[in-house]
């Protein structure tokens, strides 16, 4: 993948299932918006556990980096 993500964006991507947007800092909100715009993350319809989930692109990106969920 050629998209350049910052370390904080990658960390957010790894922890997206536990991310609470109501507690986001301005920087985290900006990172989240970028991840959504670049189609790494999408809002969940069912907010049973988290408001966001990885897309196939997000899963592939983490797989290429050798990172799993909850790892940065």
pLDDT score at 50: 73
Q: What is the pLDDT along the chain (72 residues), one digit of tens a residue?
A: 446 899 999 999 999 888 888 888 999 999 999 999 999 999 888 766 678 999 999 999 998 887 654 444
pLDDT score at 51: 86
Domain ranges of the chain: 7-65
pTM score, two decimals? 0.79
**Per-residue exposure over 10-49, b if at least 16 CB sit within 10 Å of its own CB, e if not:** bbbbbebeebeeeeeeeebeebbebbeebebbeeeeeeee
pLDDT score at 65: 82
């Amino acid at each position: 993948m050629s998209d350049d993500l910052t370390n904080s964006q990658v960390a957010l991507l790894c922890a997206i299932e536990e991310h609470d947007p109501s507690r986001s800092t301005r920087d985290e909100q900006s990172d989240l918006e970028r991840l959504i715009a670049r189609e790494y993350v999408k809002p969940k319809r069912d907010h049973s556990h988290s408001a966001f989930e990885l897309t196939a692109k997000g899963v592939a990106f983490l797989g290429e980096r050798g990172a799993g969920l909850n790892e940065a």
